[in-house]
């Protein structure tokens, strides 16, 4: 069972560490954030993403509802599982084990299409309806979610969104502790705010 966003994670993370992007004409800014939020039988939890790698191409001239071109011809996002940081070492270990880090060290998202939502485009903001493949713990699922975009200054764009997913769809057993008496909920939300600047 899936509901409209990742918010891209699989999983709550905020970039506070290394963030890199490769693009022919845009770069990902350090202030970009991504996080994964979850619940447990005791309290809610958040994991920050401390490293993310993005390979992306933009066609900013296509960011209008009238354009038939794809505004994002390609985007591949990779998050190393070990870059997820909850602030608690024991919890980190539980997350890494649940995500099968040794066999599947990365979480990836590969965009397959992005279309400007009809009637959503203006001189400074737009909504993209996106579809792509999210791979977690070696299991891939096609997901769809809206991304809000805006021009915050000349040559600088921001994209925000979130996606809620069921960990069991990716054959991930929710982390537990204290001999199973404390257990995470199946649903997690991935949220992001990405800033790109023209090089």
- Which DSSP letter does residue 94 get? H
What's the rounded Cα separation, in Å, for the pair 199 and 196? Answer: 9
> Which has the closest alpha carbon to 196: 22, 62, 7?
22
Going along the chain from its start, the domains and CATH numbers come out as: 18-198 (2.40.128.110)
**Per-residue confidence band for 155, with pLDDT thresholds at 50, 70 and 90:** confident
C-alpha distances out from residue 100 to 4, 57, 80, 106, 117, Å: 25, 30, 12, 10, 37
Ramachandran class of 99: left when φ > 0, alpha when ψ lies in -120 to 50, beta otherwise? alpha
pLDDT tens track for 3-39: 333 333 332 233 333 344 444 468 888 999 999 998 8
The pairing of strands 33-40 and 45-49 is antiparallel
pTM above 0.75, yes or no: yes
**Per-residue confidence band for 120, with pLDDT thresholds at 50, 70 and 90:** low
């Amino acid at each position: 069972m899936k509901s409209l966003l990742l918010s891209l994670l699989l999983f709550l993370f905020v970039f506070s560490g290394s963030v890199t992007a490769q693009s022919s004409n845009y770069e990902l800014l350090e202030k970009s954030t991504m996080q994964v939020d979850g619940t447990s039988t005791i309290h809610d939890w958040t994991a920050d993403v401390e490293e993310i790698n993005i390979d992306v191409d933009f066609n900013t001239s296509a960011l209008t509802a009238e354009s038939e071109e794809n505004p994002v011809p390609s985007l591949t996002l990779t998050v190393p599982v070990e870059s997820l940081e909850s602030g608690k070492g024991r919890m980190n270990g539980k997350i890494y084990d649940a995500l099968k880090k040794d066999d599947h060290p990365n979480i990836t998202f590969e965009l397959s299409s992005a279309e400007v939502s009809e009637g959503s485009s203006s001189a400074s903001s737009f909504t993209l309806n996106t579809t792509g493949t999210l791979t977690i713990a070696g299991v891939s699922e096609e997901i769809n979610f809206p991304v809000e975009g805006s021009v915050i200054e000349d040559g600088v764009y921001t994209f925000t969104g979130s996606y809620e997913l069921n960990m069991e769809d990716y054959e991930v057993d929710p982390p537990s502790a204290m001999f199973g008496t404390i257990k995470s909920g199946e649903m997690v939300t991935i949220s992001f705010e990405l800033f790109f600047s023209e090089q």
